[in-house]
C-alpha cells in the first residue's frame, strides 16, 4: 500500500513496546491510528501522547483473545474513522519453563492471545479489507516462529502457528485477487516489556504460575529474557521496517540478519534427518 497518509491503521498491543512504536510510526506517516490494548491505563497514556503530537487517534480497550472484543474493536474503528486499511495483529505475551511444568492455564493464555488473537483479527478485519478492495495485514510472530527455542514451549508453538497461518493467509489473499497484502514480523530480541507479560495475565494464570514456581527444572526465564530484551533492538527500528514492508508489500519482515541463517541451519539439519540442537537464546 503506497499511500498511507489519510488512511486508517488498527494496532493491537499498542500501549507498549513494538505496538506503541508501530502506532507512532504509522501516525508519523499521516495515518489515523486506532490503538487497542488490554492494559487500559497505559493505552490511555499512549493515545494521549500521540494525540498531543497532532495525530488523529482513538484508544479502544480490547482483549484480542476474545472474538467479541475484536469485533467491537472493528466497530469502534469504523465509527471513529469510517474505514480501516492497515491491521497490525501485534498483541502478544510470553510464558516459559520446561513445557511439562508449564501450567495448562499458561498454555491457554499464551495460545489464546498470541495465536487466536491473530485469528480473531483476521476474521474481524479481512472481510472489510477485501470488500473495500485494498488493505494490508501485519501479523507479529517472532524469530521463535521460525526456529524453536527451549523453555518457551507455548510461545514457540504459538509463533510457529502465526508464521504458518500468515503464509497461508498470504496465499489465500493472492488467490482472492491480490488486492489485500500481508506481512509477518519475525524479530529476535526487542527492547520492550515482553518479559513482564504477566502484568496483564488473568488472575487464574498468575495464581497457577505462582503455585507451580517451585521445583522448576529450567533456568529462571524471567531474568534471562529481561537481560536479552534489555540488549535488544529499538522498537522504533522494527516499526520503520514494518512501515516499509507495508509500502513495498514485503511479506517476511526479519529485522535481525542472523535469523535467516538460523532458518537455513534448521532446514539443513531437517533435510539430513538430524534432531534439533538446543540453542538459547535463539529467538525472541
Ligand atoms: N520484545 C521482543 O523481544 C519480541 C521479539 C519477537 C516478537 N515479539 C512480539 O512482539 C509483540 C509485541 O510485544 P512486545 O515485545 O512489544 O511486548 P510488550 O509487553 O511491551 O507489549 C505487548 C502489549 O500487548 C498487550 N496485550 C497483552 N495481552 C493482550 C490482550 N489479550 N489483548 C490486547 N492486548 C494485549 C500488552 O498490554 C502490551 O501493551 C508480541 O506479539 C511479541 O510476542 C517480541
CATH number at residue 247: 3.40.50.720
Instruction: Report whether 108 contacts 102 (CB < 8 A).
Output: no
Let me know if residue 282 belongs to a domain: no
Instruction: Report whether 182 contacts 88 (CB < 8 A).
Output: no
Query: pLDDT, tens digit, for every residue of 117-163?
Result: 999 999 999 999 999 999 999 999 999 999 999 999 999 999 999 99
Cα 275 to ligand 1 centre (Å): 30
Cα 276 to ligand 1 centre (Å): 27
What is the pTM (predicted TM-score) of this model?
Answer: 0.97
151 assigned to active site: no
Let me know if residue 210 belongs to a domain: yes
Cis peptide before 281 (omega within 30 of 0): yes
Let me know if residue 69 belongs to a domain: yes
Domain that holds residue 157: 8-271
Let me know if residue 280 belongs to a domain: no
Which spans in the chain are helix H?
Answer: 17-28, 40-52, 67-81, 104-110, 117-132, 153-175, 203-211, 221-230, 235-248, 258-271
Give 164's pLDDT tier (boundaries 50, 70, 90). very high
Give 284's pLDDT tier (boundaries 50, 70, 90). very low
* Mean pLDDT confidence for 79-84: 98
Ligand 1 — pocket residues by CB below 6 A? Answer: 12-13, 15-19, 37-39, 42, 62-65, 90-93, 113, 140, 142, 187, 189-190, 192-194, 197, 200, 229, 232, 284
3-state secondary structure of 89: strand
Let me know if residue 151 belongs to a domain: yes
138 DSSP β-pair partners: 88, 183
Let me know if residue 1 belongs to a domain: no
DSSP state of 269: H
Residue 219 has pLDDT above 90, yes or no: no
CA angle at 108 for the pair 103 and 110, rounded to the nearest 5°: 95
Let me know if residue 2 belongs to a domain: no
Let me know if residue 57 belongs to a domain: yes
Query: What pLDDT was estimated at residue 213?
Result: 65
The single residue of 109, 125, 151, 155 carrying the catalytic annotation is 155
Give 276's pLDDT tier (boundaries 50, 70, 90). very high
Give every CB contact of residue 50 below 8 A, 6+ residues apart in sequence. 23, 24, 27, 33, 35, 57
10 DSSP β-pair partners: 34, 87
Cα 48 to ligand 1 centre (Å): 20
The domain total for the chain is: 1
Amino acid at each position: 500500500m503506497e499511500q498511507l497518509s489519510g488512511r486508517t491503521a488498527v494496532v493491537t498491543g499498542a500501549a507498549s513496546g513494538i505496538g506503541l512504536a508501530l502506532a507512532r510510526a504509522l501516525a508519523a506517516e499521516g495515518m489515523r491510528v486506532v490503538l487497542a490494548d488490554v492494559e487500559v491505563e497505559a493505552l490511555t497514556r499512549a493515545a494521549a501522547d500521540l494525540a498531543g503530537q497532532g495525530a488523529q487517534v482513538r484508544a479502544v480497550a480490547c482483549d484480542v483473545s476474545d472474538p467479541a472484543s475484536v469485533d467491537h474493536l472493528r466497530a469502534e474503528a469504523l465509527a471513529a474513522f469510517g474505514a480501516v486499511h492497515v491491521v497490525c495483529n501485534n498483541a502478544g505475551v510470553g510464558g516459559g519453563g520446561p513445557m511439562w511444568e508449564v501450567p495448562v492455564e499458561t498454555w491457554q493464555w499464551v495460545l489464546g492471545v498470541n495465536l487466536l488473537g491473530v485469528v480473531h483479527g483476521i476474521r474481524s478485519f479481512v472481510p472489510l479489507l477485501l470488500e473495500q478492495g485494498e488493505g494490508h495485514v501485519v501479523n507479529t510472530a517472532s524469530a521463535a516462529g521460525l526456529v524453536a527455542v527451549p523453555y518457551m514451549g507455548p510461545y514457540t508453538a504459538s509463533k510457529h502457528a502465526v508464521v504458518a497461518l500468515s503464509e497461508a493467509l498470504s496465499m489465500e489473499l493472492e488467490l482472492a485477487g491480490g488486492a489485500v497484502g500481508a506481512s509477518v514480523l519475525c524479530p529476535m530480541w526487542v527492547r520492550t516489556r515482553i518479559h513482564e507479560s504477566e502484568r496483564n495475565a488473568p488472575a487464574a494464570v498468575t495464581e497457577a504460575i505462582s503455585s507451580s514456581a517451585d521445583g522448576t527444572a529450567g533456568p529462571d526465564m524471567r531474568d534471562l529474557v529481561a537481560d536479552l530484551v534489555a540488549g535488544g533492538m529499538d522498537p522504533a527500528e522494527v516499526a520503520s521496517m514494518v512501515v516499509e514492508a507495508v509500502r513495498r508489500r514485503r511479506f517476511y519482515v526479519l529485522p535481525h540478519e542472523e535469523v535467516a541463517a538460523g532458518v537455513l541451519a534448521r532446514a539443513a539439519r531437517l533435510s539430513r534427518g538430524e534432531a534439533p540442537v538446543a540453542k538459547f537464546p535463539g529467538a525472541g
